[in-house]
Amino acid sequence: MTKYLVTGAAGFIGANYVHHLLQQEADTDVIAVDYLGFAANEANLDAVMDRIVFHKVDISDFEAMAALYRRHRPDYVINFAAESHNDRAILGPSEFMRSNALGAQVMLECSRLYPVKSHVHVSTIEVYGELPAERPYFTERSPLNAKTPYSAAKAAGDQMVRAYMSTYPNMNIRLTHCANNYGPFQHPEKLIPLAIAKVLRGRKVPLYGDGLQSRDWLHVADHCNAVHRVLLAELDPIHPDAATDPGRLPIFDISSRNEVTNQEIVHGIITALGRHPEEWIEYIPDRPNHDRRYVIEPTKIETELGWYPTRDFRSTLRQTVEWYVDNRDWWERIISKTGEPGFDWSQPLGSTAV
């Protein structure tokens, strides 16, 4: 029976991947790992908890992770574990460096010492930084130019992944960067669930700055399909030219080519909830060092692995709104535990919720 070790399994994308994996491969063992930090929620796995083995472990703890590898001997490893998100990283960057950089290295080292068939490290579009006005998109060849504590910590993890790829080419490591995800189980501090929760609780939706920050949006189910495709793909050995051309490394950027502004997102949500956007939006001070625009190009994963997104943005955004309407108890429990979502950057360090 195939064994999958999934870290960050109680987070938004990790939990969706666990559900996806069990739907696609009924006869499989899933070892789910999460240290249950701020953005994690063990309830995300309630529906499948009887079909997985769950461990509360911090991936930056080498001895604990090595013990899990020795105990379970996984065939495949998928590392979703990461501290999130940008706002919280501004308030406490050290914790992000531990999980997103050191944690990445610990996972790689465990897969080196206890070999697996393949190891996927899941990263983010944000490691590329802000897209210059003269460029239409980033690609796998784009330099890492992270500009926030969160994305810099993720970029540090990326650099370690690339180093292991080139130094230990037989390890079969793969790296992915994804566009902004949306869908079920996303923490209510993130834009889409935050907007839904605010309106349903009778509050205006806070938008940073002018709300025209532009992002590339990808449904989490399409992302999970892509990650699984990357994990199982038969790839050629790393080409010698990869030493100077990162596009030759097994790196895959995952996008649905769907660029939308934050303002457009919020307008769509408020309209889906039967309200008038102009009555439900509050423009607030922008957060420090906020990326204006970033978009990635998925040609490589399309041409080399045959992956394409299948979810239409507008219809799945409505479905996502419906999921949060139908699962109000789920996100209200999170808010009661973590506090009112949102930050007021007009205050020192953005410490006041909005």
Indicate the pLDDT class of residue 301, thresholds 50, 70 and 90.
very high
Report residue 75 CA to chain centroid gap.
23
pLDDT at 217 > cutoff 60: yes
pLDDT at 318 > cutoff 90: yes
**Residue 146 near residue 155, CB atoms below 8 Å:** yes
Q: How many CB atoms lie within 10 A of CB 207?
A: 21
Task: Give the pLDDT mean for 113-137.
Answer: 96
Query: What is residue 346's predicted lDDT score, i.e. its pLDDT?
Result: 75
pLDDT digits (tens, 9 = 90+) for 58-76: 999 999 999 999 999 999 9
Query: What is residue 255's predicted lDDT score, i.e. its pLDDT?
Result: 98
Query: What is residue 95's predicted lDDT score, i.e. its pLDDT?
Result: 85
- Kind of pairing between the strands at 28-33 and 53-55: parallel
For the chain, the average pLDDT equals: 95
Q: Which domains does the chain have, with CATH numbers?
A: 2-187+217-258+293-311 (3.40.50.720)
**Residue 348 near residue 286, CB atoms below 8 Å:** no
Ramachandran sector of residue 292 (left: φ over 0; alpha: ψ -120 to 50; beta: rest) = alpha
Query: What is residue 88's predicted lDDT score, i.e. its pLDDT?
Result: 81
What global pTM score does this model have? 0.95
